[in-house]
Amino acid sequence: MIDLGPMAPELSQLAPPKKGRRARASKSTPTTTTAATTTTATAAPDSAIAYPAPVPAAPYPAIDRTLVPISTNVYLKPSTHTDEQEPADPDLPFLSIPLPGESTDSVPVYDSCDELRRKIRAFFRNPKYSKVTQKKFREAIGNVNANTYRRFMEKKGETAGAECGMFYGSYVFFEKMRIWEGKGKGVRRVRSEVEYVISSLLDRLRGHVC
């Protein structure tokens, strides 16, 4: 057996302790602890600072609007909406249109009796007014009875039936319908207006002469 006693000090000097690893290990531990402490200190809220309370979002104001008749196709406030704006009949909305002289039954008539009969027949063939019955039509033109309507429609001639109340009521009905639909005046209608104006002027001149 070899005695290593005298060589023990030399061996101990040849293998010095690993100070580097111990030093790095000893330094890493406090660094981690400091970082953790710093992180914890940053995340913690400061009780000395008073943060404002969150403001709730304001609700949208309620909008109350009333739909007016389809003729105008606009929205009005309830304060400006009146019952006079409602159509008298949803199937015949144009009846609410006023004509000059209508209040005194003095609307000038520019259509002949044959022209009005043609318009009446075309009206009942129009699918837009398929819900309008003959009774409703007779009521709209002045509560004309069925016999008067039948006699007027059976007549022929430019002036045949002009003495009937249905003649004037039918003209007012179709004149309102023309305005409602935005249709222009035909050549026959313009010629009738010119003839009416000339006839009125001649009547006035005769009155002054006499």
- pLDDT for the residue 140: 94
pLDDT of residue 186: 83
Q: Are 74 and 68 in contact (CB under 8 A)?
A: yes
pLDDT tens-place values along the chain, 210 residues long: 455 555 545 544 555 555 555 545 444 444 444 444 444 444 555 556 666 666 665 554 554 444 433 333 333 333 333 444 455 578 899 999 999 999 999 999 999 999 999 999 999 999 999 999 999 999 999 999 999 999 999 999 999 999 988 999 999 999 999 999 999 888 888 888 888 888 888 888 877 665
pTM of the model: 0.55
Which pLDDT value is given to residue 50? 62
Number of folded domains in the chain? 1
Residue 175 lies in a domain: yes
Close Cβ partners of 94 (under 8 Å, ≥ 6 residues apart): 176, 177, 179, 180, 181
- Identify the pLDDT of residue 207: 74
In a domain, 56, yes or no: no
Domain extent for 159: 91-187
Q: Is 86 within the bounds of a domain?
A: no
Residue 181 lies in a domain: yes
Residue 146 lies in a domain: yes
In a domain, 126, yes or no: yes
Q: Is 148 domain-assigned? A: yes
At position 3, the amino acid (one-letter code) is D
CB 176 within 8 A of CB 140: no
Does any domain span residue 97? Answer: yes
